[in-house]
Amino acid sequence: MPILWQTSKIKITMDAKELRIGNYISRLDLGNNLSRIEKIIALEEMATTTGPIKVRCEYDELSPIPLTKEWFEKNAPCKDEYECYYFQHPTNENIIFYLTDAGFIQEVIHTYDLIIFEHVKTVHQFQNLFFALTNTELTINENSL
């Protein structure tokens, strides 16, 4: 079932079928009514388990984390000479992932080929794209979440 999530600027839909173990999501902590960022540690047909304290959640209790410039600045391990933050392919230094206003760009430096991924608007979508293209999990600074 698609989950609709709205920020002040855009509406984001999250389909539970998009989620993988290891994806980061947001959920409302019913104890203090604050939003928490957590990692999915198990998937079931009607619910998921998030960590680190193993909370079982229905999918409609989860929200995607919007991919923003602020999130990139906190989590991207690299910064170029123009002060742009990016993630680099783990085995091919010529492939990098930048966040732009249009969405994600995969830039192949030596040939200057650009692929724009306009549909990637959330952290879990970026995690899934990065894994699909690199066969490596995206490393995120969990202390900054």
Tens-digit pLDDT string for the chain (145 aa)? 333 333 334 445 577 788 999 999 888 776 777 788 888 888 887 677 777 667 778 878 888 998 888 888 888 888 888 788 888 888 888 788 888 766 666 666 656 677 778 788 889 999 999 999 889 998 887 776 6
Return the CA Rg of the chain.
Answer: 16
Of the options 2.30.30.140, 3.40.50.10320, 3.20.20.70, 3.40.1160.10, the CATH number for the domain spanning 2-63: 2.30.30.140
Burial of 136 (0-12, 13-18, 19+ CB in 10 A): exposed
103: Cα within 13 Å, side-chain hemisphere = 13
pTM beyond 0.85, yes or no: no
Whole-number Å distance between alpha carbons of 63 and 60:
8
Q: Which two tokens stand for residue 20?
A: 């993988």
